[in-house]
Every structure is written in structure tokens, then in C-alpha cells.
Amino acid sequence: MTTTTPYAPATTSTDRPLRARKHRRPWWKTAVVLFIGLIINLPLLSAVLTSFKSDADISRSPLTVGLHFTLDHYRNVLAGTTYDFPKYFMNSVLISLGAVVIILVLAVPGTYAIVRLGFGEKHLLRAVSSLRLMPAIFFAIPFFLLYNSLGLYDTVGSLMLVNAFLNLPLAILVLAGALRELPIEIEEAAFVDGAGTYRTLFSIVLPLLAPALVAVSVLVFLFSWSDYLFAVILSSSNATPVTVGAGNFITSTGILWGDISAATVLSVLPPLCFALFAQRYLVSGLSVGAVKG
Amino acid sequence: MIRHNAKAARWVLTAPLFVFLALAVAYPIYYGIKTSLQQRSLLDPVPSWAGVDNFTAVLKDTGFWHAVSFTLKFTVVATVFEIVLGFLLALLMNKHFPGRKKLLSFLIMPVMIAPALMGVMFRLLLNSDIGIVPALLDKVGISISLFSNDTVVPLLMVLDVLQWTPFAFLLFYSGLQTVPQELYEAASVDGAGYFRTIRSVIIPLMLPILFITGFLRAIDAFRTFDVIYILTGGGPGDQTTTVSIYIYKAFATGNFGTASAAAVLAAILMLPLVPVVVRRLAAPETKATR
């Protein structure tokens, strides 16, 4: 992982010891950072290791790397009849994608009007950021009572709506920040050329906003996938996502650590790939919104 | 430069957003406050007016105050460690060395893992029979029960630091990238060593980011639910019950009125911070890491 390097260690220049020392140090740093990374990622690494070990190896010793490499646990989780894992997984995918779509449809035009068309920008953005302070569980109870009386309890659609709501403040703040940085002259030029507000928004502004749209999509997907509190409160079986489903494994079927590990690793993968792929968009989004708890 | 058709357009464009906000924010807030003033539970589903009874019940409950003090302690300790360690890690990563790009992705992976799933993985890692950590501790001759009364609180703090230091690190790291190279050179020309440069140049420059990050971590740590609930369920006893877990337990036992009252009180606890959020998060000039 760390052996690829764009430049060779310059330890060969023996006539200039000072320079040599300067160039040797970075490798030492690589080792230190790698070690820190291993510690930080120990939970994931241990889950990955366990998921490929046979049950006998798992119970024998946690410190041996699997003697018998096996894919049984993945087979159990994906194709076995004991768990509903594929359903949990699909629910997570649907809930997260649904939340992204709802957010983009609501927040993009809304934020544009708020920032560019003079719609009380200051107050609205302040109100929206204050929402971050509300403990999420404050909303969970009314949602539970309301969804119950509306017959929306334990449906995928209702969890999409909830996650859209949870991430709306973040989306608005990211989009507002990006909009403010677009030069307004472009929109004025479009207007002079005869484009109306809608035309300007969809043909001129939207393409320029593309990076922010990606950032919002990645973050909303990530956070919707991560939601646990609302899923626990608002679903019981039909709409259960992986975060709750993975926890179910522990209590319902005895403790089959191999299967649990495989399920957890599979559940971690989609947002991880998605986010690593769009890593540079993460930072701008995280700094305004950060993670829900 | 408001266009003549903009007046109508702005209503059209914001209408869906406002309808959604009214339904998903305003109404639940109203409903939550209303429930907090009602006698309402699973056994007693027809709500009746209770006045401030729920509030006095919560305020008299030592469990609630224990949850508040545990949550505060947890928040302060975890946040301080995350900021300090995250900043040190950012300084370490701020210089070029082989493999830095790949290690960056490696370091920030925990940020992208759902806390609930992280909780499940922690259970595996710390399991006394098959977990790596107890096995390693055993090897070096330490045999302690990680989830005992004495160790559980520090353990949970360590786990929070393990997952969220990368978050703090990521924000600091990207902040450090915006510090112009000339500043380092100027400091070095003026004869400042590495540590002097960090103390007198870098830290003052990074103060806003340090502040925002600490603040974001603190409000999220204060709302912690997933990991602790999955690992300990708030126990042993109610030793690790956070405010969110306290409210959830009241809710899960069907006491909707008391749960809502506790939730309103938790929101009130956060009120003093509203001006800070408004100034720091909504103000355009503090989008420092962009």
C-alpha cells in the first residue's frame, strides 16, 4: 500500500549527509502514519478477517489469521434463508437514494431562490443551521406518533422522507455556499440574452453547480445509510435498513460472529466506495454539516 | 438585479421546500411540545392534558441528571482528545512523504462507516472470547473485563476518539492545505523553528477551523446514541446512559409524554449555543475549508 512512491529515497548521495537525512525521514513517517491507520481501522480489519475465517478458526484464537479461508459466511448472509440481509440491504439502498432525490428536488430550486432572488437569505440560513442543534431524538417521537396514525410506520417511503428531512439543513448550507461563489454576472448575462429565471437556473446555474450537487449527493447518501436512531424507531421489519439489521443478528440467532462480520463488511462497503471515490467533495460538505449522532 | 419575473419565480421555486419544512419540521416541533404537556403512553393512548407534570417528573428523576452529567463528561473528554490528536495527525500528514495520498484515504475511512455498524464491529473486536483486543491484552498479561463498572466509561471515550479523530483530522488537514507556503518560509527566515512556527503562525491561523470542528464534534458527541446503545444499552445500570438513550428508553417503554418532555429539556439545554451556530456556521466568511 505504501510502497508506490513517485520518488526514490535519496539515501545514495553519501557526499551530502544533511540532504540524505532529510530524505530518509519521510519513510519513517510513512510507517508511523500506516501504524496509526491500522489502529484506527482495527474494527473494520478485524471484521474483514473474521468474515473469511471458518467458525472453528474464529473460536480457536482471535489472533491467528484464518487457516481455512472460506466464503461460507458471505454465502449464508447473501443466499441463506436464515437472514433477511438482502432485504435490509435493498432497503438501505432505496432509502438512501430516495433521500438524495427528494433533497435535490427540494433544495436546489429552494436554495437558488433563497440566495439569488432575495428570499430572506440571512434568516433562513440561520434558522436552518440552528436545526443542527436539536437532538435528533426530539423529532423521532413525534414522527413515530404521526406515522403510526397515518399508517406510514415501517415503510421505506417514510424513511426516505425522514432522512431527507434530517439532511436538508446540510444540503441547503452546502448549496448556498456553492451558489454564493458563482459569479452573478453569468446569470445577468443570461438574463440580458432573454433567458427567464427558470431557464437560467436549469441551463446556466445547474451545470455550474455540478460539484456541489455531487457533494450533497455523496453526503446525503452517506448519512442516510448511517442513520440508526430513526430506523430503530420507525421500522420493525418491512423497512429495516442494514444498520438496524446488522444489530439484529446479534440477538436473534445466537452469536454467529462469522456471519455477522460478513453482513457488517457488506453493509459498510457501498458508502465507503462511494465516499472514497468522491473524497474531495467530502471535506467541503463535512465542514458545514458534519455527522449526525 | 432582480428580474421582473423573479417575484413569482421565487415563490414557485421555494414552495415545495416550505411545504416540506412545514410538514417535517414545524409540525413535529409543535407536536413534540404538545405531547410533552400531555399524559400519553402506550397503555394510555388517549392523550389528556398534563400541564408541566412530565417536566417535573423528569427534573426530579436522578436518572435524567445522571444522563446529563455523563453526556457532558463524555462530550468534553472525547472532543478534547479528538481535536488534539486530529491536529497532531494533520501536522504529521502536512509534509510530503511516500504514500501520503493513499494513507489519507486509509485514515479517514472510519468517518464513512455508519456508527451503528461501527458499534457491531467494536463488539466483535472487544468480545472477551473471540475479540482481538482482549486476546492481545491477555498476551501481555493484562486480564481485565472491558465492560466492567470501572472501565466502561473510559472505554467508550476511547472508542469515540477512535472513530472521530479522523473527522477532526480531515478538517484540519484540508485547512492546513490552504496555508500558503510563503508563511512557513517567512517564519523560517525570521529564525522560527518548527514548533515555534506551529505555535505562533499555524495555530492562530487555524483557530477558526479548530473552533468549528470542536463545536461540531461536541454537539454530535452530546447527541451520541448508536455506538453506546449497541455496546452497552446504557448500562451497566444506567452508568453509560446518554441523554439520547435516556429519552429513547422512556419512549421505548411507552412513556411518550415523559420522553417528549425530556427531549424538550434536552433541546433547551442546547439553546445557549444557538447564537454560536448562527454566527459560525451560517456566516459565509467562515467557510474556511472550501
pLDDT over threshold 90, residue B159: yes
pLDDT in the model for residue B113 = 94
The verdict on A167 and A215 lying in the same domain is yes
B289 to A287: CB separation less than 8 angstroms, yes or no: yes
The verdict on A125 and A244 lying in the same domain is yes
* Mean pLDDT in residue range A177-205: 82
The C-alpha cell at B145 is 473485563
The verdict on A98 and A73 lying in the same domain is no
Nearest to B73 by CA among B193, B243, B253, B212: B243
Which alpha helices (H) appear in chain B, and where do they start and end?
6-21, 27-36, 53-60, 62-93, 100-107, 115-126, 132-139, 152-177, 181-189, 194-197, 203-222, 226-232, 243-252, 256-270, 274-282
Chain A positions in Cβ-Cβ contact with residue B131 (cut-off 8 Å): 46, 62
Instruction: List pLDDT tens digits, range A75-111.
Output: 888 887 777 889 999 999 999 999 999 999 999 998 8
Q: Has residue B5 been placed in a domain? A: no
Q: Has residue B276 been placed in a domain? A: no
pLDDT in the model for residue A40 = 94
pLDDT in the model for residue A60 = 76
A170 vs A292 pLDDT, higher one: A170
Cβ of A121: how many Cβ atoms within 10 Å?
19
**ipTM of this complex > 0.85?**
yes
Q: Has residue A116 been placed in a domain? A: yes
Angle at which helix A136-150 crosses helix B256-270, to 10 degrees, equals 150
A293 to B278: CB separation less than 8 angstroms, yes or no: no
Q: Has residue B7 been placed in a domain? A: no
Instruction: List pLDDT tens digits, range A213-247.
Output: 988 999 899 999 999 999 999 998 888 999 998 87
Q: Has residue A39 been placed in a domain? A: yes
Q: Is B1 on the interface with A (CB under 8 A)?
A: yes
B113 to A44: CB separation less than 8 angstroms, yes or no: yes
The verdict on A132 and A51 lying in the same domain is no
**Residue A53 in 3-state DSSP?**
strand
* Mean pLDDT in residue range B125-142: 86
Q: Is B112 on the interface with A (CB under 8 A)?
A: yes
Look at A78-87, B98-107, B154-163, B224-233 and tell me which has the smallest mean pLDDT: A78-87
The verdict on A89 and A208 lying in the same domain is yes
Q: Has residue B75 been placed in a domain? A: yes
pLDDT in the model for residue B5 = 61
pLDDT over threshold 90, residue A119: no
Chain B positions in Cβ-Cβ contact with residue A226 (cut-off 8 Å): 113-116
The percentage of chain A sitting over the pLDDT mark of 90, rounded to a whole number, equals 30
Q: Has residue A263 been placed in a domain? A: yes
| Count: domains in chain A | 2
Nearest to B108 by CA among A209, A44, A129, A94: A44
| Residues found in chain A | 293
| Count: domains in chain B | 1
Domain end, chosen from A26, A48, A77, is at A77
Q: Are A258 and A190 in contact, with CB atoms under 8 Å apart?
A: no
Q: Has residue B263 been placed in a domain? A: no
- Least CA distance to B272: which residue of chain A? A133
Chain B positions in Cβ-Cβ contact with residue A228 (cut-off 8 Å): 114-116, 225-226
Q: Has residue B1 been placed in a domain? A: no
Domain that holds residue A102: 85-289
The percentage of chain B sitting over the pLDDT mark of 70, rounded to a whole number, equals 93
Q: Has residue A220 been placed in a domain? A: yes
The verdict on A194 and A238 lying in the same domain is yes
A118 vs A149 pLDDT, higher one: A149
| CATH at residue A148 | 1.10.3720.10
pLDDT in the model for residue A288 = 56
Q: Has residue B246 been placed in a domain? A: yes
* Mean pLDDT in residue range A108-123: 81
The verdict on A188 and A71 lying in the same domain is no
By Cβ distance, the residue of B134, B167, B260 closest to A141 is B260
* B169, HSE (Cβ side, Cα atoms, 13 Å): 29
- Least CA distance to B120: which residue of chain A? A247
Domain end, chosen from A57, A77, A97, is at A77
pLDDT in the model for residue B4 = 52
Q: Has residue A9 been placed in a domain? A: no
pLDDT over threshold 80, residue B3: no
Q: Which long-range contacts (CB under 8 A, 24 or more apart) does A190-199 make?
A: A191/B1, A191/B3, A196/B3, A196/B5, A196/B9, A197/A117, A197/B3, A197/B5, A197/B6, A197/B9, A197/B13, A198/B9
The verdict on A71 and A89 lying in the same domain is no
By Cβ distance, the residue of A129, A243, A286 closest to B116 is A243
> Number of helices (H) and strands (E), helices first, in chain A?
16, 0
pLDDT in the model for residue A291 = 33
Instruction: List pLDDT tens digits, range A203-216.
Output: 888 888 888 898 89
> Burial, A21: exposed, middle or buried (Cβ in 10 Å; 0-12, 13-18, 19+)?
exposed
d(CA A152, CA B91): 49
d(CA B139, CA A182): 59
Q: List the 200-229 stretch of B: residues with Cβ below 8 A of A.
A: 209, 212-213, 216-217, 219-226
CA A56 from chain center: how many Å?
34
A142 to B28: CB separation less than 8 angstroms, yes or no: yes
By Cβ distance, the residue of A138, A164, A173 closest to B263 is A138
Q: Has residue B24 been placed in a domain? A: no
By Cβ distance, the residue of A232, A233, A272 closest to B109 is A272
The verdict on A127 and A41 lying in the same domain is no
Question: Which residue has cell 465492560?
Answer: B147
pLDDT in the model for residue A231 = 93
Contacts of A253 (CB under 8 A, 6+ apart): A82, A83, A259
DSSP A133: G
Domain end, chosen from A35, A59, A77, is at A77
**Residue B4 in 3-state DSSP?**
coil
The percentage of chain A sitting over the pLDDT mark of 70, rounded to a whole number, equals 84
The verdict on A147 and A272 lying in the same domain is yes
pLDDT over threshold 90, residue B20: no
Q: Has residue A229 been placed in a domain? A: yes
A34 to B216: CB separation less than 8 angstroms, yes or no: no
Q: Is B114 on the interface with A (CB under 8 A)?
A: yes
**Encoded amino acid at B178, one letter:** T
| CATH at residue B87 | 1.10.3720.10
By Cβ distance, the residue of A3, A62, A246 closest to B117 is A246
Q: List the 91-110 stretch of B: residues with Cβ below 8 A of A.
A: 92-93, 95-100, 102-103, 105-110
Domain that holds residue B219: 61-252
The verdict on A120 and A99 lying in the same domain is yes
Q: Has residue A138 been placed in a domain? A: yes
Q: Assign A284 a pLDDT band (cuts: 50, 70, 90).
A: low
pLDDT in the model for residue A8 = 44
Instruction: List pLDDT tens digits, range B173-230.
Output: 988 888 888 888 888 888 888 888 888 888 998 888 888 889 888 988 998 999 999 9
The verdict on A154 and A120 lying in the same domain is yes
Q: Has residue A4 been placed in a domain? A: no
Handedness of CA B127, B129, B131, B137 (dihedral sign): positive
Nearest to B185 by CA among B175, B194, B176: B194
